[in-house]
A and B are shown apart, each in its own frame.
Chain A
Amino acid sequence: MRQAGTYSGILSGKMGPHLLPLARIKKIMKKSGDEVKMISGESPIVFSKACELFIKELTQRSWMVTMQGKTRTISKEDVASAVMATDLFDFLVNLVSGEATTPLEMETKI
């Protein structure tokens, strides 16, 4: 039996601040596929931590690329390079190679 108090506390933020909004995480999870029907209360919480770890790892790797140059500003190309250099991030390869043409800018012109 799940302890309702514990989990509702988590979701309503009584637990203390989360770094990432749980409702948004849940939305993104739902959009990942039609077969995703139901999501337990704790999975967005697990994801919020997983995303934090992911962001930190990718940031660290991007920074290593940045440091090879003269600037101290991480550019999107640095992030893309970090993705290309890491097998674990293969699933992102298409996403970052598409970044180069900034599709949003293209769309606005229409």
Chain B
Amino acid sequence: MDENVAASGSNDDDGIREQDQLLPIANVGRIMKQMLPQNAKISKEAKETMQECVSEFISFVTSEASDKCRKERRKTVNGDDVCSALAALGFDDYAAPLRRYFNRYRDLGVDNKAANQDKANNDSNSNEDREEQSSLKFSMIGISKNSSMRPID
């Protein structure tokens, strides 16, 4: 975390991103790879750029969400606020699937049977890359008290 000698305590964030304000490069890289063919490579700088873009994305959307909360005199930014902010900023394509994803969480928290059946159906799919499977299917599995990512064998 302290590798970046330049990281100062100043409030000026332009161009200077402390590691705390970035999502881990390994995680970011992994998600990027999911979109690419096997022969594709990603330069370290490209991953670093992506890290910064994601952080900027989070700040951008959070500001919008918190603005809305302030106008409505609410103190807490919740999941719906994030979805609304995404839609307001042009990320409509994200907002709809996210709402479904988020609502499934709330529903599945009550009904575990549905979650387990869903999981059983999905586990019979391809088992190429477990990591990819767990990440892609995470949205489908949702909440389940018994959920533990067991190897699909």
Q: How far is the CA of A102 from the CA of B49 in the complex (A)?
A: 10
B53 touching A21 by the CB < 8 A rule? Answer: no
B117 within 8 A of A: no
CB-contact partner of B57 in A3, A33, A54, A74, under 8 A: A54
B62 touching A29 by the CB < 8 A rule? Answer: yes
B46 touching A29 by the CB < 8 A rule? Answer: no
Question: Shortest distance in angstroms between A50's beta carbon and chain B's nearest beta carbon?
Answer: 5
Given contacts A35-B66, A45-B79, contact A76 B49 (CB under 8 A): yes
Interface string of B37-67 (1 = CB under 8 A from A): 0011111011011101111111111110111
Contacts of A66 in B (CB 8 A): 40
B138 touching A18 by the CB < 8 A rule? Answer: yes
A interface, size bucket: 35 or more
Q: Is the interface of A mostly helix, strand, loop or mixed?
A: helix
Task: List A1-57 residues whose CB lies under 8 Å from chain B.
Answer: 3, 5-6, 9-10, 14-21, 24-25, 27-29, 31-33, 35-40, 42-43, 45-47, 49-56
A46 touching B83 by the CB < 8 A rule? Answer: yes
B63 touching A33 by the CB < 8 A rule? Answer: yes
Residues of B bordering A, CB below 8 Å: 4-6, 14-16, 20-21, 23-24, 27-28, 30-32, 34-36, 39-43, 45-46, 48-50, 52-63, 65-67, 70, 75-79, 81-83, 86, 89-91, 93-94, 97-98, 101-102, 105-106, 109-110, 134-135, 138-139, 141, 143, 145, 147-149
Q: What are 24 sample pairs from A and B whose C-beta atoms fall under 8 A apart?
A: A5-B109, A6-B109, A6-B143, A14-B147, A19-B138, A28-B23, A33-B62, A43-B78, A45-B105, A53-B98, A55-B28, A56-B35, A58-B53, A59-B32, A63-B35, A63-B36, A74-B41, A74-B42, A76-B46, A78-B46, A89-B53, A95-B53, A99-B49, A103-B16
Residues of A bordering B, CB below 8 Å: 3, 5-6, 9-10, 14-21, 24-25, 27-29, 31-33, 35-40, 42-43, 45-47, 49-56, 58-60, 62-63, 66, 72-76, 78-80, 83, 87-89, 91-92, 95-96, 98-99, 102-104, 107-108, 110
Instruction: Given A32-B60, A56-B32, A107-B5, output 15 extra A-B contacts at Cβ < 8 Å.
Output: A9-B145, A16-B141, A19-B31, A29-B58, A40-B76, A54-B57, A60-B35, A63-B35, A74-B42, A76-B46, A79-B46, A79-B49, A83-B53, A88-B90, A92-B57
